[in-house]
Structure 1
Amino acid sequence: MFKRLSSDIARCEGAIAAGLAALVTLLILLNIATRALGHALYWTDELAIHAMIWMTFFTTSATLKRREGVAVTLLLDALPAGLRRLLALAVDALVLFFALFLAALCWRWYDPATLWASGFDIQAFQGETFNFMYSETSRTLGIPKFWVWLCLPIFAVSLALHAVVNLGEGLRNLAAAPRRYA
C-alpha cells in the first residue's frame, strides 16, 4: 500500500514539477516581452522564483524516491554487492532522518497546535509566540508567505514516505540476497 502511494505521489510530483518548469519558462518570456515593451510586470519575477522553488522541492523528492540523485560512485562501484546494499540502506536511513528532522522543524515553525489553540486568530498567535510567519506577505504578489513556504512541510512528508518505502525495499532485498559463506 505504501509502495503504491509513494509511487503515485512521485508521479504527481514529477508532473507538477514539469508544469512548474513550463510556468517558469512562460513567466520569464512574459517578463522579457513586457520589459522590451517598456511596461514591466514586476510580479512575474517573484512568481517565477516561487515556482522554481516549488519545482525544485517536487523534483528533489521524486528523484530521491527513485534513487536517481547525482552521486560519485567510484568507491561504491569497487565494493562487493553486499556492502553496496548496506550502503544504500544507510543512505535511505539518512534521507529518512533528514525528512523527519525537517518535518519536526516545520511543525515547530508553523506551530499548528498553538494556531489552533488561539482560534486561528493570527494576532493572538503572534502575541503568544512572536512568530509572524502568517502575517508576512510577499513584496509584489502580496500573498502571505506561509503559502510559499508550505513547500517545505509538503516536501518533508513526501520525502519521509519515499524514504520509508525505499528503506523497506532495501531491507527486503538485503534479506532476500543470497549469502556467501567463506
Structure 2
Amino acid sequence: MQRVEKAFKHLLAGLSGFSILVVFGVVFAGSVSRYLFSSPLQWSEEVAKYAMIYGCMFGVAFAYLQGSQITFSIVIDTMPAALRRKLAIVVDAATLILGGVLAYAGWIFAAKRGGIVASGIGIQMYWAQIAITIGGICLVIAAILRLASAINNNSTGGEA
C-alpha cells in the first residue's frame, strides 16, 4: 500500500509541477510576444488560467495526502494521541465523502455548461471545467489511501 501511496504522491507532484511549468511558460511567451514583438498571444491568458486550475486541483490532493493541508493544530495538539488518531480517521472519511461530492458536482457542472467554447483557444469549456471532477477524484483516492494507512497502522499497533 505504501508503494501505491508513494506513486500517487509522485504523480500528483509531477502533474502539479507540470501545471506550474505550463503557467510560467505561457505567461513568459505571452509577455515576450506582447512587449518584444507588439503582438499579444490571444490564447496565453486562458491557457495559463486553466493550467492554474488543474495545478490547484492536483496540489490540493497532494497537500492532503502529505498531511500538509491547513489544520487547526492548536486544538488537535491538545488532545491525547488516541483521540487524535480517531479524529484523523473521521477527517479522512469526511474528505472521502466531500471529494466524491466535489467530483459529482464538477461532473454535473461540466455536463451542463461544458459546451461553451472558450474564445481565446477555441476549445470547449468542458476541458477546463472537468478539472473540478478530476480534483474530487484525486481527493477521494488520497482519502482512501490515508484511511487504508490509518487502518493498517491501527491493526498493526503502529502510529497513524
| Same fold at TM > 0.5 | yes
Give the Å deviation of 1:85.
Answer: 0.7
The answer to whether structure 1 residue 160 and structure 2 residue 140 are counterparts is yes
Give the Å deviation of 1:42.
Answer: 2.2
Partner of 2:95: 95
| Aligned residues: CA RMSD | 2.1
CA gap of 1:93–1:76, structure 2 versus 1, over 3 A, is same
Partner of 1:16: 15
Q: TM-score, normalised by structure 1?
A: 0.76
Q: Secondary structure at the match of 1:166?
A: helix
CA gap of 1:47–1:143, structure 2 versus 1, over 3 A, is same
Does the CA contact (< 8 Å) of 1:24 and 1:52 recur in 2?
Answer: yes
Give the Å deviation of 1:135.
Answer: 2.2
How many residue pairs align between the two structures?
Answer: 157
1:148 to 113, 123, 128: 128
Partner of 1:124: none
Partner of 1:72: 72
Give the Å deviation of 1:172.
Answer: 3.1
Does the CA contact (< 8 Å) of 1:31 and 1:40 recur in 2?
Answer: yes
Give the Å deviation of 1:66.
Answer: 1.7
How far does the alpha carbon of each residue in 1:119-154 deviate from its partner, in whole angstroms, 9 at most, with x for none?
A: xxxxxxxxxxxx3x3421112001011011121222
Structure 1 unmatched ranges of 5 or more: 112-130
Does the CA contact (< 8 Å) of 2:20 and 2:52 recur in 1?
Answer: yes
The answer to whether structure 1 residue 63 and structure 2 residue 52 are counterparts is no
Instruction: Write the letter of the residue equivalent to 1:56.
Output: C
Instruction: Write the letter of the residue equivalent to 1:63.
Output: A
Output the CA distance in 2 between the equivalents of 1:151 and 1:4.
26
CA gap of 1:53–1:107, structure 2 versus 1, over 3 A, is closer
Which has the greater radius of gyration? 1
Output the CA distance in 2 between the equivalents of 1:139 and 1:95.
35
Does the CA contact (< 8 Å) of 2:110 and 2:129 recur in 1?
Answer: no
Q: TM-score, normalised by structure 2?
A: 0.86
The answer to whether structure 1 residue 173 and structure 2 residue 146 are counterparts is no
Output the CA distance in 1 between the equivalents of 2:107 and 2:154.
34
Does the CA contact (< 8 Å) of 1:10 and 1:62 recur in 2?
Answer: yes
Partner of 1:136: 116
Give the Å deviation of 1:63.
Answer: 1.4
The answer to whether structure 1 residue 48 and structure 2 residue 48 are counterparts is yes
How far does the alpha carbon of each residue in 1:63-117 deviate from its partner, in whole angstroms, 9 at most, with x for none?
A: 1122211223111111111111111111111111101112232344456xxxxxx
